[in-house]
Structure 1
Amino acid sequence: MRSTLRYFMLLAISCVFNYGTYAQLEKVEPPFWWAGMEKSEIQVMFYGTNIADFSVSVQEEILVTGVVKTENPNYIFVSIETQNVAAGTIHFQFKKKGKLQFTREYELKERAENSADRKGYTSSDVIYLLMPDRFANGDPNNDSVKGLEDKLDRSKSGGRHGGDITGIIDHLDYLEELGVTAIWSTPLLEDNDPAYSYHTYAQSDVYKIDPRYGSNVDYKNLASELHKRDMKLIMDYVTNHWGAQHWMIKDLPSYNWINQFPGYEQSNYRMETQFDPHKSDSDFKYCVDGWFVKTMPDLNQKNPLVLNYLIQNAIWWIEYADLDGLRVDTYSYNDKEGIATWTKAIMDEYSDFNIVGEVWLHNQAQIAYWQKDSKIGAIQNYNTYLPSVMDFTLHNAVEHMFAEGGGWGSGIMKAYDNFVNDFLYPNPDNLLVFLENHDTRRFNDIYDKNLSAYKLGLTLIATTRGIPQLYYGSEIGMRGDKSKGDGAIRQEFPGGWEADAQNAFSASGRTVQQKVFFDFTKKVLNWRKSSKAVHTGELTQYIPENNVYVYFRSLGADKVMVVLNNNEADQTLDLARFAADLKTTNGTDIITSQNITLNKTLTVAAKTPLIIQLN
């Protein structure tokens, strides 16, 4: 009896000891992985007070390829090879002086069917960019969350307004009706900055959806709901920096986990130093290693642990949430070699995936440098492996061209000149084309809510080469003066909050002007879904005359003629000039659905676009 009692006392003491030691393990990242991945060697990070005092092994016959301990004893990085390892539970064993102290289970999940073959967004898509905090509030219960400093305050343009993932899901039917086929949401991961956190580019936990937007499961559900509608989800991913409130920044694994001077120094934002053959070392360092802002410490992708952490995190989200693509913030501020390695690892895992990088430059050669297989990059033996870049030079042009008269380099000639330089890009069809985004001036503010300018602009990005991107609210004429702060270009979508006086998500709730904007957008985008010529057809453009731009999109017998009359007066075109591409006398105006006779001349109304499906 006494021996039995002694056994149970020892067992209880052992359980208490094991529980207390296990409690030291505060985080495990990635939280799980999948069997059958191209990236089969996975580096698991264990975090907890003095966790490095333990040695770590794996109970199963799985190869441990490396164990890294940093100068911070609260971290251990353990690499294991999972190739040919079946889905199931792995047991990490933590020992001291050869004695087992506790075991941590780790799951290798089954991959979803055809997960490796996922198709990314393409030029057949139209992307809708939205800021979740300003789009729609579907769940008021998560507007403010305990433990996260920035609370709901709709009176502040830079405050949190309560939009969330549920609000997006609630309005997917609206987006489907509009004709968009993919959503790019600005970041949804946790951002615990005390202010301005709705922006969410200063992330504090990159394995966790910000609870004010919802949960990881909610995000996964958003992708599922989109896929039911044959729509896609694009994640806004940040490789260059985290937020100062990130839990790892507060307890750095190593001094060089972030770029230090020591501490903070501002970036000079001179991305040209990435390829300038005459650059000074200090200018280059301040671009690449400088912090974007003081609240966003710059990650050091030259550190192999950092780079591998970022690679795994991106792949984890793609696999977990069933994503269709990424948009990478501040792509060209990263360490060049590090970001190329990161990009290649993702494309090796998902060969048909798509990633667009934000390369905010104003010269086509400099932007083209960053696209995969660029001959310009090859001059310096550099390849980013990045499929897509953003066409900021076209954006620069559309901010001015529709208010200018014709001239050698003015007005609609700016569009022509932009596409002349497409020879610089390895794949012009995979450029992101846009009138505006969450960082730029609102198009409808630049042109004072001018419907004619909007029609010309939307027609251009919807029918030229590339992947068109629409910014939320443009389709109802939303405007905002950026000179009054970023909040002005990120206003709430009317109808996204229960007490809103107006609901522009509903046809009956739109003003007359909003209805005209919406109906035009809907007509163009839904037609575009079925136009193979616009998706992948050859672009043939004619030098603008009298501020009128004519181009054709052709794919076999499928041919579309686009005319943009940027004049304040009607214009009559001599169609003989376009005889090489215009081999028919009949077409259909896709806006009005009326037949158009194309004999010798064509008259186009002032400030009007025509999209003609040639018969």
Structure 2
Amino acid sequence: MKNNKLTLLFAIFFTTLSMAQITKMEPPFWYEGMNKSEIQILFYGKDIAENSVIVSKPAIITNLTKTENPNYLFVTIDTKNITAQTLEFTFKKGKKTFSQPFEIKKRRPDSATRNSFDASDVIYLLMPDRFANGNEANDSSPNLTEKGNRNLPGGRHGGDIQGIIDHLDYIQELGATAIWSTPLCEDNDKGYSYHTYGQSDVYQIDARYGTNEDYKRLASEMHKRDLKLIKDYVTNHWGAEHWMFKDMPSYDWFHQFPGYAQSNYRMTTQYDTNGSKRDAKYCMDGWFVPSMPDLNQSNPLVLNYLIQNAIWWIEYADLDGYRVDTYSYNDKEGIAKWTKAITDEYPYFNIVGEVWMHDQAQISYWQKNSPIAKIQSYNSYLPSVMDFTLHDAFGSVFNENEANWSNGTIKFYENFVNDFLYDNPNNLLVFIENHDTGRFNEIYKNDFKKFQLGMTLLATTRGIPQIYYGSEIGMAGDKGKGDADIRQDFPGGWKSDTNNAFTNSGRTETQKQYFDFSKKLLNWRKNKEVIHSGKLTHYIPENNVYVYFRHNDTESIMVILNNSLNGQKLNLDRFEENIKGFTSGKDIISDTTLKLNNELSIEGKTALILELQ
């Protein structure tokens, strides 16, 4: 009996010792019925590549890839026609063997045909660390370096996933229909980690935000309210604390020069017919900053890892879309394959890429089926891009009181003139500001009339409007003082806050003014198909007054933006082709009805949104 116990103890000891060889398995599981049925599983552990490996039936290993680092083994199996079950991988080295389970999970019904965000939505962009602290117990983590410190402007302030869940009703009341949260995966940088763009584990939610299960719960709670969840995905780089950077699978997993080289940030080198190869390389391969190693998407193992990770998160968390950071810094062939793989799996899934450029033709190059990129036989397959040229106009127009050939509302007109350069201008993301730009209310010194002008255009023009947390209550912040100033905590998100702007009773009078206007405008927009998909017809601005119509076969909306300090009288004969037989218009903000006779008066720095009747 004693010998049997001893044998059992030795067996447990050696099994535990062998199992310790696998410290990471990614993806941790997969799903049945996927279009991407061939899955490449990364096994990581001390000298794992020295083992032979087999898998239980009905799975078959179709490929085995080793790198120069023996701690990595990439095992490919085909899951086609394999139903939900647990497979068993058996590793053997000499006389020692051990097993590792790998689960194939059941897939959600109609997962492949899930709907995504589009022009019927209003996206609410928030930074989780700065939005609301719903669980004070996770403000710091024993396994992560940077601890919570709300007194430090650039530190971790404690906002988390629970804080978002706690205030979903607020976002819904505002009239937003989707949430884009900046990244939530683990970022173990020693400092300034709250923005989470330097991720250290892309399969794990940062413990200071919560758990993977919390993220799933966020999506579930949002879907109960008909809200959509957009994940911020980073394909271009990871953080220097990423476990794979500390023990690289291969030298070429990251771009090496050797080691670090700074990107020149000149995205135009990606398609410049006169450009040098060196300049193009330093754009694509150069690191964004020293703390963010640049991923090599031209390495098939890297590319496949990123594709699988993106698809895994969609299935696991039931996501409704992606926003892709620094899209145009990636290897352009590699990122096109990444994007196509996702949209092949999910034909209706929308992905918007950050293409921070200041010319419509250059931005258009990165949108799917671009007539510009077609010249070079390139297709990014990216459905949506961010309209940065419109953002540029938003940052100056409302301070340009006296119009001339190039200033004032003519900037808006000239922006939309160039819509012919895009394959699908209605799928552009339009925005006044975001987490990297100057705050609109700071630029315009909290001038409420200018806020009304900006929000009116944002909510009624073509494209998908995105607002930045806190602007709807008048939050400002000076980018000149650093990023932390444009990423301040939302008032009321922490128990100690004396001002709670999440509730009507807790708002100041100024906050109420901003919120009530935003709420009325965005909730009106929710059910206006003519705004979501109607044609845009606009007129050359006169006297700093910009007039445009959104119209379809059943409805017509007339929008008037008077950016002049003075009241203006509009001769309505000029707009006859759109006014046609309509005799009046109801202003959706003031609820007043205006007669559409020969002339219409509008006060200075005022917007009108008229439902024509």
TM range (shorter): over 0.9
Question: SS of the counterpart of 1:375?
Answer: coil
The alpha-carbon deviation at position 9 of structure 1 amounts to 4.4
Match of 1:191 in 2: 187
Decide whether the 8 Å contact of 1:539 with 1:552 is kept in 2. yes
Match of 1:602 in 2: 600
Q: Does residue 55 in structure 1 map to residue 49 in structure 2?
A: no
Match of 1:382 in 2: 378
Give identity over the alignment, percent: 64
**Partner Cα separation in structure 1 for residue 410 and residue 389 of structure 2:** 13
Equivalent residue in structure 2 for 1:446, among 428, 443, 446? 443
**Partner Cα separation in structure 1 for residue 194 and residue 74 of structure 2:** 32
Question: SS of the counterpart of 1:38?
Answer: coil
Decide whether the 8 Å contact of 2:87 with 2:101 is kept in 1. yes
**Partner Cα separation in structure 1 for residue 14 and residue 507 of structure 2:** 65
Match of 2:533 in 1: 536
Deviations 1:586-612 (A, max 9, x none): 221111122221111111111011011
Decide whether the 8 Å contact of 1:135 with 1:168 is kept in 2. yes
**Partner Cα separation in structure 2 for residue 191 and residue 111 of structure 1:** 29
Question: SS of the counterpart of 2:97?
Answer: strand
Question: SS of the counterpart of 2:398?
Answer: helix
Q: Does residue 268 in structure 1 map to residue 283 in structure 2?
A: no
Letter in 1 for 2:597: N
Question: SS of the counterpart of 1:549?
Answer: strand
Deviations 1:26-74 (A, max 9, x none): 0100000000001100000000011111011112132211000111110
Letter in 2 for 1:422: D
Match of 1:343 in 2: 339
**Partner Cα separation in structure 2 for residue 330 and residue 178 of structure 1:** 29
**Partner Cα separation in structure 1 for residue 534 and residue 564 of structure 2:** 28
Match of 1:202 in 2: 198
Q: Does residue 425 in structure 1 map to residue 440 in structure 2?
A: no
Normalising by the residue count of structure 1, what TM-score does the alignment of the two structures yield? Answer: 0.98
Match of 2:486 in 1: 489
Match of 1:150 in 2: 146
Q: How does 1:38-77 map to 2 (within 5 A)?
A: 38-77=35-74
Equivalent residue in structure 2 for 1:320, among 313, 316, 321? 316
Match of 1:28 in 2: 25
Letter in 2 for 1:264: Y
Decide whether the 8 Å contact of 2:58 with 2:82 is kept in 1. no
Letter in 1 for 2:322: L
Match of 1:163 in 2: 159
Q: Does residue 255 in structure 1 map to residue 235 in structure 2?
A: no
Letter in 2 for 1:606: G
Q: How does 1:213-224 map to 2 (within 5 A)?
A: 213-224=209-220
Equivalent residue in structure 2 for 1:524, among 521, 536, 544? 521
Equivalent residue in structure 2 for 1:285, among 270, 281, 286? 281
Consecutive unaligned residues of structure 2, counting only runs of 5 or more, are none
The alpha-carbon deviation at position 10 of structure 1 amounts to 4.0
Q: How does 1:107-118 map to 2 (within 5 A)?
A: 107-118=103-114
Equivalent pairs, count: 611
Deviations 1:47-103 (A, max 9, x none): 001111101111213221100011111010000000111110111111124x56011
Deviations 1:556-592 (A, max 9, x none): 1111110000010111101011110002012211111
Question: SS of the counterpart of 2:372?
Answer: helix
The alpha-carbon deviation at position 5 of structure 1 amounts to 6.4
Match of 2:501 in 1: 504
Q: Does residue 592 in structure 1 map to residue 607 in structure 2?
A: no
Decide whether the 8 Å contact of 2:54 with 2:61 is kept in 1. yes
Decide whether the 8 Å contact of 1:187 with 1:199 is kept in 2. yes
**Partner Cα separation in structure 1 for residue 396 and residue 7 of structure 2:** 79
CA gap 1:434/1:62 in 2 versus in 1, 3 angstroms: same
The alpha-carbon deviation at position 430 of structure 1 amounts to 0.3
The alpha-carbon deviation at position 8 of structure 1 amounts to 5.8
The alpha-carbon deviation at position 15 of structure 1 amounts to 3.2
Q: Does residue 78 in structure 1 map to residue 75 in structure 2?
A: yes
Question: SS of the counterpart of 1:493?
Answer: coil
**Partner Cα separation in structure 2 for residue 530 and residue 132 of structure 1:** 28
Question: SS of the counterpart of 2:376?
Answer: coil
Match of 1:401 in 2: 397
Letter in 1 for 2:130: R
Match of 2:89 in 1: 92
Equivalent residue in structure 2 for 1:227, among 216, 223, 235? 223
Decide whether the 8 Å contact of 1:92 with 1:105 is kept in 2. yes
**Partner Cα separation in structure 1 for residue 475 and residue 342 of structure 2:** 36
Letter in 1 for 2:163: G
**Partner Cα separation in structure 2 for residue 513 and residue 22 of structure 1:** 60
Deviations 1:487-514 (A, max 9, x none): 0000011111101111111111111111
The alpha-carbon deviation at position 356 of structure 1 amounts to 0.2
Question: SS of the counterpart of 2:579?
Answer: coil
The alpha-carbon deviation at position 13 of structure 1 amounts to 2.6
Deviations 1:441-493 (A, max 9, x none): 00000000010111000000110000000000100111111000000000011
Question: SS of the counterpart of 2:404?
Answer: coil
Match of 2:572 in 1: 575
Deviates more, 1:358-367 or 1:499-508: 499-508
**Partner Cα separation in structure 1 for residue 132 and residue 6 of structure 2:** 57
Q: What is the CA RMSD across the aligned residues, in angstroms?
A: 1.0
Decide whether the 8 Å contact of 1:343 with 1:384 is kept in 2. yes
**Partner Cα separation in structure 1 for residue 99 and residue 144 of structure 2:** 32
Question: SS of the counterpart of 2:163?
Answer: helix
Deviations 1:340-378 (A, max 9, x none): 000000000110000000000000000000000011111
Decide whether the 8 Å contact of 1:274 with 1:336 is kept in 2. yes
Deviations 1:217-242 (A, max 9, x none): 11111111111110100000000000
**Partner Cα separation in structure 1 for residue 362 and residue 250 of structure 2:** 34
Letter in 2 for 1:253: P
The alpha-carbon deviation at position 409 of structure 1 amounts to 1.4
The alpha-carbon deviation at position 12 of structure 1 amounts to 4.0
Decide whether the 8 Å contact of 1:93 with 1:100 is kept in 2. no
Letter in 2 for 1:135: F
Deviations 1:233-292 (A, max 9, x none): 000000000000001100000000000000001111000100101111111111100000
Question: SS of the counterpart of 1:65?
Answer: strand
**Partner Cα separation in structure 1 for residue 115 and residue 300 of structure 2:** 29
Question: SS of the counterpart of 1:382?
Answer: coil
**Partner Cα separation in structure 2 for residue 211 and residue 100 of structure 1:** 36
Equivalent residue in structure 2 for 1:102, among 98, 102, 108? 98
Question: SS of the counterpart of 2:194?
Answer: helix
Match of 2:133 in 1: 137
The alpha-carbon deviation at position 6 of structure 1 amounts to 5.4
Consecutive unaligned residues of structure 1, counting only runs of 5 or more, are none
Letter in 1 for 2:600: L
**Partner Cα separation in structure 2 for residue 510 and residue 461 of structure 1:** 24
Question: SS of the counterpart of 1:150?
Answer: coil
Q: Which runs of 4+ in 1 moved over 3 A?
A: 4-12
Question: SS of the counterpart of 1:496?
Answer: coil
Letter in 2 for 1:333: Y
Equivalent residue in structure 1 for 2:115, among 113, 116, 119? 119
The alpha-carbon deviation at position 16 of structure 1 amounts to 2.2
Letter in 1 for 2:442: D
Deviations 1:198-223 (A, max 9, x none): 01000000000001000101111111
Question: SS of the counterpart of 1:115?
Answer: coil
